[in-house]
Each structure stands twice: as C-alpha cells, then as structure tokens.
Structure 1
Amino acid sequence: MKRAKGEEDGYKSMDIISSLPQEILQRILYFLSQEDVVRTSVLSKSWRHVWCTRPNLVFSDQTFKGKKQDFLSTVDKTIQRYRDQRLCVEEFDLCMLVDGSEDRESVTFLENWIPLLKNMGMKKFDLSIRARHCRKFTDMPSVVFGAESLQYLHVAKFVMHERSIERLVLLKHLDQLHLKKVYIEDAVFQRIISSCPSIETMIIEGCKGLKKINLSDLPNLIYFNFDVFYGDGLEEEEPCSIEIRAPSIETINITYGNIRFRKGAEFRNLINLHLRGVDSSLEHMSSCKFPILTWLSLSHCHGLKDIQLFIDAPSLVLFEYQGLFIPSISFGKTTSSWRSELNIKYIQINDGYLWFLKLNELLNSVSKSRIILTIDQYLMNHDDIIRGNVNMVQYMNGCGIAVVVDRLSLNASLSSGPSNLNGLLRICRPRILMHLDMEVVEWLWKVLMERESGDEGDRFRPLWLRDLEQGNMEIKETGREEWRSATLSELRKCRETKSYHTRFALKWRQVL
C-alpha cells in the first residue's frame, strides 16, 4: 500500500529520530511526563526500552486513580530495577498519600526507597507527601530528613515532632520547603531550617503549634509566604510572631501572622510586601528602608491603627490598601508613575466630619499617583450622616484643592440622602464614577441635567458642580467591550431587556 507524501515524510522523520544514540533519546524523554514516556515504547524497536532507562523518574499516586497497591508496586519495582541494572537516577519526583496513622505499608516503602536512591547518583529529589484527614495526627517519617539530596519538600497534614527529625542531616540542597496544615512546634521548626542553609522558597500554610518564627540564618531566602486558614480551629491560637532578617528576601506574604520589623532595617532586595490581618503594630516600618520595593499591599491590618506610618519606597509602582478604617500613611519620594488602589469598607460613621477629613488626608498623601478608590458604605445609617453634617458645611467650605481620582466606585445605596456622595465629590475629582445603584444614578443624572440652571436647592451642590466641565452617563451591555453614551430613558429600557453596567464619565476643569 502506497503511503501519502505527508505520511511518508512523517515516517522518515521518525526513523531519523529513532536512529539517534540512546543518550539523546533519553534526554528527549527527560522532558516528557511519565505517562507520555511509557507511550513511546510503541513507536519502534529502538524506543521500546529507552523509557525504562531515562535519568529522571516522576511518580504521582493521583495518576493511579486510587489504586494504591499498583502505585506502590510500580514505584518499588522501578527503583529495584534501576538499582539492579546500576542505572543513574539524576532526578526523582514522588507525590504520594499516606492513609492516616495506620498506613504503615506506605511509610515502610518510603523508608526503603530513600536509602536506595541516595546511592544512584541522585542530584535532585522532590518529595510531596500528604496524610488524609483523620482524628489522630500522622507522624512524619523520620527518614525524610535523612535524604541529603532533597531539593524540594512538600509536607501536608502530618505532625512533626522530635522523632521526625532524629535522622536530620545537613540538607544543603533543599531550596524549597512547603508545610501545609502541619503541626510543628517552634523548637522543631528552628532545628529544621537551621539545617537547610540554601532555602530560597518557604511556604507555611495553615500550620498549628508555631508561636514564633525567626528567619535570621537563611542568606538565600527569596520568597516567604505565611498563611493561616480560618475554619480549622486556628483562630483560637495566638497569631505567630514572625521576624525576618534575610538579606536576599524579595517577596514577603503574611496572612494573619504578626510580623516584627526591626527598627532601622533595610530591605535592600525586597520587591513585594503583602500583609493581611496583621494585628501587631507596624510603627517600626516608618524607620525601615525599601529601596526597590514595587508592590506594597496592606489589607485589614489592625496594626495600622493609631499610628502615623511613613513609607520610604522610592521605586514603588503599586500601593494597595483595604480595611475598615482610614489609615494615616505618607510616602517619601516615589516613581513618576505609580498607582494607588484604596478599598475602604466602613461599618459605621460616628463622625462624618472626621471620616471625610481622614479620607482627604489619605488622598492627598497619594495624590501623585493614579488613584482607584472604592468605598463600601452600604452600612452607613442616616443618623450618622446627619450627625456629621453639622460640621461638614464648615469643613467643605474650608477644604483645599480636591484630589484627582482616576476611578471612584461607590458600592452603596444613598436612600438616606445624597450627602455622602456630595462629600466625596468635594474632596476628590473622579474621572469615572461607577457601581452606583439605580436610585443614585437617577439622582446624579438629574443633578447633571440641571447644573446649568443654577439651582441651589442642595447646599453642597455648588461646591463640586462649579468645577465640573462635562458629565456623561455611559452604559455597557454584558459581553461587550465598549462603553457608549446613553440617556436615562434608554437606561430604563436596558434594565428591562438585558444585563448592563453603568458609569458616569466626568470631565473637570483644571483648578490651580
């Protein structure tokens, strides 16, 4: 049977590849998954046994779809065959599940495999072991910390105690450590990291038992992530105290931990700093230097309360704040083009005058950036607004130049009156105003349509209307990219027939 030209070219290409030396074929298989490697055995005679000798092995019990015995048997036979044939295993990647504290079989296999791999020229060993949820914690096999070739270690749902580290050796190759939902106490943790001087990435998620972390002996640490998951009883524990003195650190992510900044510290290589739910005071940050910090994110950090924070970050590109109160933050020299994203969720306003004053101060501190402002004030009540309005007239009349805001999102209902939106428009000049409910849209549309009439019915209205040059309502149907101008009657029709988004595009006169 005559082959088509394209098919014949394909066979010729395959013949050329198949004629390559076995070392080259092994290097080709190096970049394939274990499943794809096995499939190459049907290509030709020369490929039949190459997959059995490639220098890297990757095994995951997830590919065996719950057939635990098949998985253990396959890994065991493969390791034994490599040992018997004196084959080299440059890289070994193992991902496996241990079924609770009674699963002695899996632990026994693991204890047998690791010593064998040590004698096969292994340069890289990636191990990910996890235990099932069970009433009793599963003990971490001590043999793991005797594997000198470990480069990556991911441990989930185990307990690490003194017996777990009784075989602890100098893990000079370990550069990634990931602990997830592990019970580990301070002394054991400090012994482990003191034996891992080359760690570059450390991830700690939802772990119990840790009270204090001191990262002062890790010169190569680049990435540190600490995250506590609520819902597992962790909220009952005291937040872990974290101190970082790593000269190479580039990224710090801390969620519900208490970071301790050393007074006057210089983070010369820090690029990303993300803090969420930090209760400890952050006042010492004011004396720290962040020469190349580009991304600073502060979310629901109670440690910002009652302090005046100064940020020395001349390379800052993005500043994010989210919280239930307005912080006092100022910045030193910054880049010529940086962005501030402020998301303020306010539960209750006890003094409207003070709230607007603090917001005005925050906006002025970031006035040289492109500002994205979101106000979630749906829990404001009418009494709070009225109480603040006594002083607000005097404040608004004496307020300085308003700050230009690229976008203002107001996730709120103004059923209690337009005073709060009027206050916002007095202290900021948003180019885009969006996320308004229909009542607010109709009120603002009416104000814009009547702005030429000189109606003084609302005593706040002239304060911001006099600076408004042009205002257009725009809509965008769901699934479309472009915004288009629309009238109120057209918007009402859209509400009945399709999903849409609404915003106001506002053009302000330049105020000197």
Structure 2
Amino acid sequence: MNEGMRLEDVPELMQNIQSRLPVKAAAKTSVLSKSWLHAWSTIPNLIFHVPEEEERKQLMLVYIDNTLRKYLRDNIPIESFELNIQLGRNEHASLAQQWIRYVATKTCLKELSFTINFDQVSMNLPDEILSCVNVTKIRVWASYVMDIAVRMTSSHQSPIIKCVSLRELHLFRVRISQQLLDHILSSCRLLENIKLKSCSQDLKTIKIKSLPCLDKLEIYTNDIRHCPSVEINNVPNLCMFKCDLQPMGTKGMDILPFSSVHSISLGSNVTELWLGGPGLVTDDASVDMIKTGLPFLESLTLNMGFWKLENCRFTFASIKRLSLISLPDNHIGIHLNTPKLLFFHLDGSTMPSLSFPISTTLEEITFRMKPYKSFDASFLLKMREALELSRKCYLHIAPVWYYRPPPLNMDILDDLKTRLQFPPATNVETLTFEVCKDECQWESSPFFHAFFEICHPKQVIVKSDVCKMMLGEVLEKKTKIAADWPNYVKHVQIRRPDERWDTLTDSHTSFQDGSRPYYADFKLEWC
C-alpha cells in the first residue's frame, strides 16, 4: 500500500475483510465510517438466510427484495449469491424465482447457491439459472417433502446453455429433466466437480462423457421407481468417483436396470472410489477389475448390501483406506492382502472373520455395528481378535432389537469368558453405545460387562437411557477387589453434553433414579 493511503481508500480491501467475517460481525463494520458503510452496502458476495418465524420472515423477504433492486438499479456487481429459504406459500416461490432472474443478469456472477425447504409448495427453477456466462458454481439443495418440490427443466425445445464456464454442479433432490441434464453435461466442458444426489426421477441414463477436467464425480439415488443407468468414459483426470445406487426396499433383488462396473471407464488416475448398488460390485471378479484398472487407488469404500459371497478376498498393493459398509449376514470371512493399508472401517449387522497378513499393523480400525441376529459370544470374540490389528480402535454399537429382549444375557457372558484367549484390549479410544427404542429392556443386560471383558476403552459414550446401566456398571467395578475383578476401573470421570468432566462419585447414583433419558460420556482409567 502506498504511503499515505488509507484502508478506506481501497473499498475492495474492506469488502474482502467483510467477506471473511461472520455475517453479523461483518454487518457491524458498517458503523465504523461512511466508507465501511458503503463497502458493506455494495459487497459483491450476498448471503441471505431467511428465518422460519413468519413475522421475521416477511421482514427479511422485503429486505432481500429491496437489496437486489438496489443492486440492479445502481449496477452494483454481484459475484456470489447464496439463499437459504423455507417456501411456505406460492408467493415465496415466485419471489425466489424472481430473485434468480435478477441475479442471473449479472455477467460478473460466479457462484449461485440455493438451500430450499418446502412446506406444501413446489418450485420451478427458471431458465435463467443457466444463462450466467461466467458462473463457475451452481448448487441447489432441496428438502425432501414431495416428488415435485423442485423442478429443473427448460421451456425451450432445445435448451440454451450459456454457463459454459461452469466448474461445479451440485444438485440435491432436484427433479431435472433428461434433456436438460444431457445438454448441461455436453455443453459445460470445463466441469471439475459434479454431484447428483436423489435427482433420478426423470432420468433414464446419466451420461458423463468427454469431460477432460473432471476431478470429482458423485452419483447417489435410493428411489426404487427410477433406476438410471450410468455411462462414463473419457474422463482422464478423474480422481474421485462415488456411485451409490441403493433402491429402497429391494435388498436382494437380482435384476435392476443399473449399469455394471464392467461398462464404466474411469481412467487410471482415480485415487478415491466409493461403489454400492446392484450390478456395480457384487463379487471378487468386480474387485479384481477395480484392482487392475485403478493402479493408483488409495481409498476404497464398498457398499456390500447386495453381495452374496460367503468369503471375500481383497488384494490391493496401493490402497491405504478401506471401508466395507452394509455388510450382510451371509459374510463369513474377509481376507485382505493390502500391504499399505492404514485405515480400516467396517459397517454392518454381523462381525465377520478378518484375515490379514501376519505383519499387518493398522493405524486405525473403526467398527460401526448394528447387530440384529448374531449378537453372541462369537461376535465379541471375532471383534477382540480384530482389535489386535491396529494401534487405535473405535467401536460404535447400535443394536437393532425393537420390542424384543436384548440378545446379551449371562449365558453368553459365561460362554465368552470360557472361550476368550486374549486379555482386554487397551487400544480402544471410544466405545459408543446407542439404542433406539425400549432402552428399559437393557437394564438387566450384561452389555458393558461383556464389552469390558474384551476391551478397556478410554472413553464410553452412551446415547440412550441405558446411561443408568453404565453408571451402575462402573460404580460396581470401582468397589470390586482387583484380584476378583479383572476389568478393574481405577478412576472414572463423567460429563453431560457441553459440560466439563467431573469425577464420578457415589453422589452420581441419583442419576440412576431419573425418569428422563440421560446422555453422558465416561472417561475411564484402568489398572
């Protein structure tokens, strides 16, 4: 900055400062001087969050409308526009459409972002949303209330796409027409990041072709009525691909009109891959194709809900992160030959047998389990063996046992003690326990007793009313003699959400008598 020049002499600098502050803090700068007020009233980055309360909402709608009219009248640049609004009446939708048309006339516009929540109102995004010549990012996020909440179509027989500078396209729960999507993907050759989530209502095919700049691609749908095929080729610089085609209520279906992983050409530069759905990856042969076609793959996530094999083999020389989710009950063994693997995540209803090379030492293992059948001593024994494989482990257990007694009982506990060959693991950072319903049925279950036989977690997070059960468990252990109780707890701290840690004492037994659900974290120090 030249000598003698003041900050007020450079309004762009003041606006840059304001744009980096939270909205309320940035607005307060307008009282510093007329220069700061002018900078705030002409800032090119507009962010509007409309409150839900009706009276405040009406005031905000008037303010937004007046602000945009001023920007248009005085030809004030708008570089980015973000709107978060709940549409409760048709006039609200009409206003939002009008604002989009206002903003789209700005040739300097670079980013458009809309978060739209609906209350029995639908909305058509105007054609002008694709008329911004210099826009680089379009994001539309819609709440799921009805099938027709947000439509994105064209009033022209042949859509006119002017946003040829578009780099990022994010559509979430937007009902886009096949014709318009095809024209966008064929016209916007500079696209780098595409996210299409729950947008398949009117789509038969999602064609991603000849996009040399494409770096990230995400496609997600869970609608059984609309199953688009996916065609991908000539994307030489693609690094991340996520495709999760999960039809609702059709687990186990064999025939669905999804493209196969065999017909998708991703190029060889993919380092992060996320696949799920029937017809995509369902067997070892599919995994082998991934291995040979993607030599630089570092992160792999497979949704295995449609797999039917009893034993799965994964051999990857380059992979560092592996996540296997929605693991079905029929999986018995998982064999991994992954010499560079550091992080392993398992999500499912059953605990499989895991086989790693003898020299394997992982940095981190995460088990997120929702058992509803095989919650027995074998489940716990397999988990204890797996804990030996990593320096740090995280356990999240959320049993699905609605209106039935919990599966863990004293017989299972006795069976576990008889068959257990390892001492309790000391590398478990957190054990999170969550029950959705009927928490009272767990009050007599030896759940924590059983898990403390296989591990000594540093922290226990309880997300249900069974917190009272956890309190009783640790208070009892603190009174046991170490010789009689191998899982002896030396020191326990407790805290409620958003509170500080407090040493657990007998005074906390009063929490066990509470009638309302109680949520707490426990920090445990073991002998």
The amino acid of 1:437's aligned partner reads: M
Asked if residue 182 in structure 1 is aligned to residue 214 in structure 2, the reply is no
Displacement of 1:179 in angstroms is: 1.7
Asked if residue 280 in structure 1 is aligned to residue 294 in structure 2, the reply is no
Per the alignment, do residues 190 and 417 of structure 1 end up closer, same or farther by CA in structure 2, a change over 3 Å counting? same
Asked if residue 93 in structure 1 is aligned to residue 125 in structure 2, the reply is no
Displacement of 1:303 in angstroms is: 5.6
Tell me if the contact between 1:319 and 1:341 (Cα under 8 Å) persists in the aligned partners: yes
Per the alignment, do residues 48 and 184 of structure 1 end up closer, same or farther by CA in structure 2, a change over 3 Å counting? closer
Tell me if the contact between 2:493 and 2:524 (Cα under 8 Å) persists in the aligned partners: no
Q: Which has the higher helix share?
A: 1
Displacement of 1:225 in angstroms is: 5.4
The amino acid of 1:280's aligned partner reads: F
Partner residue in 2 for 1:17: 6
Partner residue in 2 for 1:5: none
The amino acid of 1:471's aligned partner reads: Y
Instruction: Give me the identity figure in percent.
Output: 15
- Secondary structure of the 1:449 match is coil
Partner residue in 1 for 2:456: 430
The amino acid of 1:355's aligned partner reads: F
Tell me if the contact between 2:193 and 2:215 (Cα under 8 Å) persists in the aligned partners: yes
Matches within 5 A, 1:96-111: 100=90, 107=97, 110-111=100-101
Distance 1:125 1:321 in 2: 40
Q: Which stretches in structure 1 are left out of the alignment for 5+ residues?
A: 1-13, 229-233, 453-464, 508-512
Tell me if the contact between 2:391 and 2:427 (Cα under 8 Å) persists in the aligned partners: no
- Secondary structure of the 1:280 match is coil
Distance 1:192 1:285 in 2: 40
1:171-228: per-residue Cα shift (whole Å, max 9, x none)? 4432222223312355644543343343344444554515765656555444555667
Displacement of 1:146 in angstroms is: 2.8
Asked if residue 291 in structure 1 is aligned to residue 313 in structure 2, the reply is no
Displacement of 1:338 in angstroms is: 0.9
Distance 1:386 1:212 in 2: 54
Displacement of 1:385 in angstroms is: 5.2
Displacement of 1:281 in angstroms is: 3.2
- Secondary structure of the 1:339 match is strand
Matches within 5 A, 1:240-259: 247-250=237-240, 252=242, 258-259=276-277
Displacement of 1:354 in angstroms is: 4.5
Displacement of 1:404 in angstroms is: 2.8
The amino acid of 1:495's aligned partner reads: T
Partner residue in 2 for 1:161: 153
Pairwise CA RMSD: 5.3
1:324-380: per-residue Cα shift (whole Å, max 9, x none)? 222455556998551112233323448x4553454456445xx23422334456958
Among 365, 379, 385, the residue aligned to 1:355:
379
Displacement of 1:159 in angstroms is: 0.9
The amino acid of 1:128's aligned partner reads: S
Asked if residue 79 in structure 1 is aligned to residue 72 in structure 2, the reply is yes
1:472-504: per-residue Cα shift (whole Å, max 9, x none)? 342224354476xx8xxxx44442489986676
Per the alignment, do residues 103 and 482 of structure 1 end up closer, same or farther by CA in structure 2, a change over 3 Å counting? closer
Partner residue in 1 for 2:15: 29
Asked if residue 150 in structure 1 is aligned to residue 135 in structure 2, the reply is yes
Partner residue in 2 for 1:495: 509
1:211-265: per-residue Cα shift (whole Å, max 9, x none)? 765656555444555667xxxxx77656777788865434859595745355422
Displacement of 1:323 in angstroms is: 3.2
Partner residue in 1 for 2:188: 196
Tell me if the contact between 1:153 and 1:178 (Cα under 8 Å) persists in the aligned partners: yes
Partner residue in 2 for 1:139: 124
Partner residue in 2 for 1:319: 344
Distance 2:359 2:215 in 1: 24
Number of residue pairs aligned between Structure 1 and Structure 2: 442
Distance 2:475 2:240 in 1: 49
- Secondary structure of the 2:390 match is coil
The amino acid of 1:370's aligned partner reads: K
Asked if residue 475 in structure 1 is aligned to residue 492 in structure 2, the reply is yes
Among 320, 333, 342, the residue aligned to 2:367:
342
Distance 2:28 2:459 in 1: 58
Partner residue in 1 for 2:270: none
Among 388, 394, 413, the residue aligned to 1:372:
394
Per the alignment, do residues 112 and 501 of structure 1 end up closer, same or farther by CA in structure 2, a change over 3 Å counting? closer
- Secondary structure of the 1:177 match is strand
Distance 1:475 1:105 in 2: 57
The amino acid of 1:279's aligned partner reads: G
Larger Rg: 1
- Secondary structure of the 2:161 match is coil
Partner residue in 2 for 1:6: none
Distance 2:68 2:385 in 1: 63
Asked if residue 43 in structure 1 is aligned to residue 67 in structure 2, the reply is no
Displacement of 1:153 in angstroms is: 0.9
Per the alignment, do residues 480 and 194 of structure 1 end up closer, same or farther by CA in structure 2, a change over 3 Å counting? same
TM-score by length of 2: 0.62
Tell me if the contact between 2:192 and 2:216 (Cα under 8 Å) persists in the aligned partners: yes
